[in-house]
């Protein structure tokens, strides 16, 4: 990998240019901070046909939202470059990040907005349908599959809850524990009361016909006809800043791994903030954008505090030098 010389330093590097990163960059650029977004260009919702539930943006194509965000960042002097950050180092009060292509960038603060990876169970046919008719979030897709026959594929502790939740959108639900979920007697009572069928047994495949999901095939050979499948993937925040000691940890709900942070996104590593799905696994687009905005304001306040300390130190030095010069004159 060729290592190139460090590019023009900026005040803030945003790693990841989805809703969280671009929103953070916009706020920082408008705060007259020099900001650079480095983005690998794979937002989590890319396979979806629209962004839903984002007031004033409902139904917009995910790539159009990103393009609009990039334009807004550029309008205030921020830059967006394509690239994948692979490591970061801290030295002399600055961070230096390196991309896969060997480019190096330097900044006073970092905002990590790298999102998360959805890990799907290994069922033939499933991954190809992800974001189309294999879904996870009722607020993102529930309206689109309302009243349709839905299979909820068991993956872990949230699966029964997910089946009960989707019941708000359709009454035609079958839960497949798929030998991965143990359904308690009380949960069975809840499912029965809500008219949700439970079909036991290993799942062999997701059946597709003419580019439409048609059912779930069990290992026994039985086919249960459904037109959509919901599941809870294991969600894993990337470990892009492992080199700075920023390690994703298990989420308290047992649904994946995230980077811990306070309400403003401040992490345990001074100078590094995190926003969006990388820390909040449940954040939707509007929540990720809001988090980027909050982190950006916190970063700006931190830089203002540092700028002020530097200015005060310089003022004191100047006063000291003036005082010494005057005492020598006397
Ligand atoms: C199929 C699907 C459909 C969805 N539909 C909706 C919906 O309708 N409405 C809704 O509100 N939410 C929806 N969501 C959730 C939505 O995707 C997230 O809320 C949102 O993407 C979180 O934004 P983010 O900025 O945190 O992460 P992302 O949007 O995932 O952006 C992260 C960015 O960082 C980049 N990146 C990652 N690692 C690196 C690296 N090392 N260096 C540089 N860049 C990197 C990625 O390529 C990506 O561009 C959906 C999710 C899925 C999976």
Between CA 295 and CA 301, with CA 296 as vertex, the angle to 5 degrees is 95
CATH topology of domain 10-118+234-315: FAD/NAD(P)-binding domain (3.50.50)
pLDDT at 132: 95
Instruction: Please state, in angstroms and rounded to a whole number, the distance separating the CA atoms of residues 261 and 265.
Output: 5
Q: Which residues contact 296 (CB under 8 A, 6 or more apart)?
A: 12, 23, 24, 25, 26, 27, 28, 31, 111
Best of 51, 140, 259 for a ligand 1 pocket test (most atoms within 8 Å of beta carbon): 140
Q: Which residues contact 169 (CB under 8 A, 6 or more apart)?
A: 138, 142, 143, 145, 146, 147
Q: What is the CB neighbour count within 10 angstroms for residue 110?
A: 26
Closest to 198 in 3D by CA, of 177, 180, 217:
177
Q: Count Cβ atoms within 10 A of the Cβ of residue 286 and give its class: 0-12 exposed, 13-18 middle, 19 or more buried.
A: middle
Decide: 281 and 258 in contact? Cβ < 8 Å. Answer: yes
Along the 330 residues of the chain, how does pLDDT read in single tens digits?
454 667 889 999 999 999 999 999 999 999 999 999 999 999 999 999 999 999 999 999 999 999 999 999 999 999 999 999 999 999 888 999 999 999 999 999 999 999 999 999 999 999 999 999 999 999 999 999 999 999 999 999 899 999 999 999 999 999 999 999 999 999 999 999 999 999 999 999 999 999 999 999 999 999 999 999 999 999 999 888 888 888 999 999 889 999 999 999 999 999 999 999 999 999 999 999 999 999 999 999 999 999 999 999 999 999 999 999 999 987
Decide: 129 and 208 in contact? Cβ < 8 Å. Answer: yes
Please report, for the chain, the start and end positions of each structural domain, with discontinuous segments joined by +. 10-118+234-315, 121-231
Decide: 288 and 296 in contact? Cβ < 8 Å. Answer: no
Q: Count Cβ atoms within 10 A of the Cβ of residue 117 and give its class: 0-12 exposed, 13-18 middle, 19 or more buried.
A: middle
Decide: 27 and 38 in contact? Cβ < 8 Å. Answer: no
Best of 54, 114, 258 for a ligand 1 pocket test (most atoms within 8 Å of beta carbon): 114
Query: What CATH superfamily classification does 121-231 receive?
Result: FAD/NAD(P)-binding domain (3.50.50.60)
Q: Kindly give the distance from the C-alpha atom of residue 150 to the centroid of ligand 1, in angstroms, as a whole number.
A: 25
Name the token pair of 137: 């979030």
Q: Which residues contact 253 (CB under 8 A, 6 or more apart)?
A: 157, 158, 281
Decide: 15 and 58 in contact? Cβ < 8 Å. Answer: no
pTM (two decimals): 0.95
Name the token pair of 204: 């062999």
Same-fold call for 10-118+234-315 versus 121-231: yes
Phi, psi angles (nearest 5°) of residue 91 = -155, 145
Q: Kindly give the distance from the C-alpha atom of residue 54 to the centroid of ligand 1, in angstroms, as a whole number.
A: 14
Residues within a 6 A CB radius of ligand 1: 15-21, 38-45, 47-48, 51-54, 84-85, 113-115, 118, 131, 137, 140, 238, 240, 276-277, 283-286, 288
pLDDT at 1: 45
pLDDT at 231: 98
pLDDT at 330: 78
pLDDT at 257: 96
Beta strands in 83-165 (DSSP E): 85-91, 94-99, 104-112, 116-119, 134-135, 150-153
pLDDT at 238: 86
């Amino acid at each position: 990998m060729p290592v190139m010389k460090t590019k023009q330093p900026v005040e803030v590097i945003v790693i990841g240019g989805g809703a969280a990163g671009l929103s953070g960059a916009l706020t920082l650029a408008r705060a007259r901070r020099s900001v650079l977004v480095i983005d690998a260009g794979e937002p989590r919702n890319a396979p979806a046909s629209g962004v839903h539930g984002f007031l004033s943006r409902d139904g917009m194509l995910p790539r159009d939202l990103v393009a609009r965000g990039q334009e807004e960042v550029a309008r205030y002097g921020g830059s967006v470059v394509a690239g994948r950050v692979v490591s970061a180092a801290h030295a002399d009060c600055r961070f230096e990040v390196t991309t896969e292509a060997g480019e190096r960038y330097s900044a006073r603060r970092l905002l990590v907005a790298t999102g998360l990876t959805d890990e799907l169970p290994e069922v033939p046919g499933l991954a190809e349908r992800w974001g189309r008719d294999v879904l996870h979030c009722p607020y993102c897709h529930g309206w689109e599959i309302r009243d349709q026959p839905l299979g909820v594929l068991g993956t872990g502790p949230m699966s029964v809850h997910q089946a009960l939740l989707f019941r708000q959108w359709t009454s035609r639900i079958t839960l497949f524990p798929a030998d991965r979920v143990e359904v308690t007697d009380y949960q069975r009572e809840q499912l029965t009361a809500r008219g949700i069928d439970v079909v036991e047994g290993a799942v062999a495949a997701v059946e597709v016909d003419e580019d439409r999901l048609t059912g779930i095939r069990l290992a026994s050979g039985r086919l249960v006809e459904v037109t959509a499948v919901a599941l809870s993937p294991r969600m894993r925040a990337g470990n892009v800043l492992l080199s700075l000691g920023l390690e994703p940890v298990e989420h308290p709900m047992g649904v994946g791994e995230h980077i811990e942070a306070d309400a403003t996104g401040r992490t345990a590593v001074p100078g590094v903030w995190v926003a969006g799905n990388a820390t909040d696994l449940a954040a939707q687009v509007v929540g990720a954008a809001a988090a980027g905005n909050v982190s950006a304001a916190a970063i700006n306040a931190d830089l203002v505090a540092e700028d002020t300390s530097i200015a005060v130190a310089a003022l004191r030095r100047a006063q000291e030098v003036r005082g010494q010069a005057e005492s020598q004159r006397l």
